[in-house]
């Protein structure tokens, strides 16, 4: 019975370590979000028009550069520009979708693209890189608290995490002694 329990514990520990190694491996990880868009209704001008502005932010939160990043829209936006200078190439797929290709986005780097449309609203289909598809995340504005307040919260979280680890270790030791794995 002791030998079977040892195999089970070894298997569980191996699985957890393998998942942690996979989670924290050095690889790119793209996130993107659309912070907002706004529609200007310009009826009072001699030429009535509707202008729509959109913004798209892409960030590589990984530890390796994301290569061959593609931003794919259903059709070409009327006008777009990047907030920071970035090299890009425009292309069109056989299905007529508009592709903006960026050679690479470095680790912890982000880019922002601003879109202005007056004929058709841009429809974002996909953001991806050679390493995989980017993940769309939801964002909202958040109040920024003073540094002293944040340090206090971090200290309390660290103390709480320490207590959780202590009680988990105590529980593992208690169970190990109860089933006879430890003397």
User: What confidence tens digit (pLDDT) does each residue in 98-157 have?
Assistant: 999 999 999 999 999 999 998 788 899 999 999 999 999 998 888 999 999 999 999 999
Q: Flag whether 150 is in a domain.
A: no
Is pLDDT of 32 > 80? yes
Res 2 pLDDT > 70: no
In a domain, 44, yes or no: yes
Residue 24 lies in a domain: no
Q: Say if 81 falls within a structural domain.
A: yes
Instruction: pLDDT band for 1, please (50, 70, 90 cuts).
Output: low
CA-based torsion, 177, 179, 182, 183: positive or negative: positive
Q: Three-state SS for 170?
A: helix
pLDDT per residue over 7-24, tens digit each? 888 888 899 998 888 777
Q: Is residue 19 part of a domain?
A: no
Q: What is the CATH number of the domain that holds 115?
A: 2.60.40.1510
Is the model more confident about 26 or about 160? 160
pLDDT confidence of residue 49? 82
Which domain covers residue 40, as residue numbers? 30-136
Percent pLDDT > 90 in the chain is: 63
The torsion angles phi and psi of 16, rounded to 5 degrees, stand at -65, -45
Contact (CB, 8 A) for 92 and 149:
no
Query: Residue 24 has what pLDDT?
Result: 73
Give me the pLDDT at residue 22, please.
Answer: 78
pLDDT value, residue 151: 96
Quick one: which of 24, 23, 128, 125 has its CA closest to 66? 128
User: Mean pLDDT for the chain?
Assistant: 90
Backbone φ and ψ for 132, nearest 5 degrees, come out as 150, 175
pLDDT at position 153? 96
Task: Specify the number of domains making up the chain.
Answer: 1
pLDDT band at 58 (very low <50, low <70, confident <90, very high): very high
Q: What spatial distance separates the first Cα and last Cα of the chain, rounded to whole Å?
A: 15
In a domain, 57, yes or no: yes
Position 99 in a domain? yes
pLDDT recorded at residue 4: 77
- pLDDT at residue 3 above 70? yes
């Amino acid at each position: 019975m002791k030998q079977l329990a040892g195999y089970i514990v070894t298997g569980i520990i191996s699985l957890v370590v393998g998942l942690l190694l996979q989670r924290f491996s050095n690889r790119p990880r793209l996130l993107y979000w659309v912070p907002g868009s706004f529609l200007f209704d310009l009826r009072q001008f001699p030429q009535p028009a509707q202008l729509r502005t959109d913004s798209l932010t892409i960030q590589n939160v990984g530890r390796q550069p994301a290569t061959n990043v593609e931003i794919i829209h259903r059709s070409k936006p009327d006008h777009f520009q990047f907030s920071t200078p970035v090299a890009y190439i425009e292309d069109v797929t056989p299905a007529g979708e508009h592709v903006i290709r960026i050679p690479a986005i470095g680790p912890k780097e982000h880019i922002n693209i601003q879109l202005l449309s007056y004929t058709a609203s841009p429809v974002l289909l996909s953001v991806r890189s050679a390493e995989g598809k980017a993940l769309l995340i939801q964002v909202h504005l958040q109040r920024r608290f003073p540094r002293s307040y944040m340090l206090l919260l971090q200290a309390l979280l660290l103390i709480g995490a320490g207590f959780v680890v202590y009680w988990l270790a105590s529980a593992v030791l208690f169970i190990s002694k109860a089933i006879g794995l430890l003397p």
